[in-house]
Amino acid sequence: MSLPDVIRALPKTDLHLHLVGSASVPTVLDLARRHPAAGIRPDAEHLRRFYTFTDFAHFIDVYHAVDQLVRTPEDVTALIVGAARDAAANNVRWAELTVTASTHLGVGMDPGALAAAMAAGRETALREHGVRLGFIVDTPAEYGLDAADATTAFLRHHAPPGTVAVGLAGLEQAAPRALFARYVEQGRDLGYRAVIHAGESTGPDAVRSALHDLHADRIGHGIAAVADPELLAHLAHTGTPLEVCPTSNLRTGVVADPARHPVVELLRAGVTVTLGTDDPGMFDTNLCREYGYVARLAGLDAHGVAGIARAGVRASFAPDELKRDLLTEIDATL
């Protein structure tokens, strides 16, 4: 098989996938028509211009604007099923979908109805598309501790089946990672892992804080670690997985040169790298495209891309039996 054929054939995981950012342009246009009060014009050309980001802070503003289009439990279910459909087209077998519950609750959605909508979407994703889903319920740093507390309350009383982790995302500059230590600790007390965005739009100190203050199980992005050789060596030694999303980094401007993405240095340093799509609807990407880009940039062959697929399986919070099955299937693909 050619390398693109191998990439398509490999069973994959997508561990860094935001629900709202997964929405395709047609889906967002449909939401805009149904919810005009959110203020996004239902015009395809306007939306494409809207999705041209000037910097990371602008991307966050756009993301929050689109977030306001998700007004009903039915919207949530439809987005989950749509994300699964697109994932299945890239042979993704397990995806961990990040849902920002506090945003949906903030527009008046009932917490029980939100949880039921997530559960319904998860069931339909498996039944219709063969994609198994776990949920990461996150809070954006820029929303502060009140949103974090609302997220914890939602998980304590209404967590849907398949919830695997709490997350911290959003604008890193808005608040230090350590501010959310209680939020992460409460999530652990409820039985959830911790996935922390760090080192995406700031420096390596954010990654260090995610590791030492929040004891992150995985780091979202983490690409700034390449600026700190000691941190890079620590990540390689501990095997803490990084969820690297190359197209996202290029589209938001945190990486300027597509020929010099930090993923190459991370791989060469022996860091555990998984690949994710982040917000594929906004960035016009998919997981096969991410694999192909990294393979070209890092000079990977079929065994190299299979290694990344294996890392994604091992770093996931999927059930052990599914992990074993996926690893066996990866070996059989080569």
Neighbours of 178 (CB within 10 A): 12
Quick check: is 265 catalytic? no
Distance from the first to the final alpha carbon of the chain: 9
Question: Out of 96, 172, 200, 243, which one is annotated catalytic?
Answer: 200
Q: How would you class 146 by CB atoms within 10 Å of its CB: exposed for 0-12, middle for 13-18, buried for 19 or more?
A: exposed
Closest by CA position to 279, among listed 72, 43, 27: 27
Structure tokens at 109: 């959605």
Instruction: Give the Cα separation of 155 and 116 in Å (integer).
Output: 13
Instruction: Give the Cα separation of 31 and 307 in Å (integer).
Output: 38
3-state secondary structure of 16: strand
Q: Which residues pair with 137 in a beta bridge?
A: 99, 166
Output b/e per residue, 85-124; b: 16+ Cβ within 10 A: bbbbebbbbbbbbbbbbbbbbeeebebeebbbbbbbbbbb
Which residue spans within the chain are E strands per DSSP?
12-18, 92-99, 132-140, 163-169, 193-198, 218-221, 242-244, 273-275
Structure tokens at 301: 């062959």
Which residue spans within 151-236 are E strands per DSSP?
163-169, 193-198, 218-221
Give the residue numbers annotated as catalytic, written as ranges.
Answer: 200
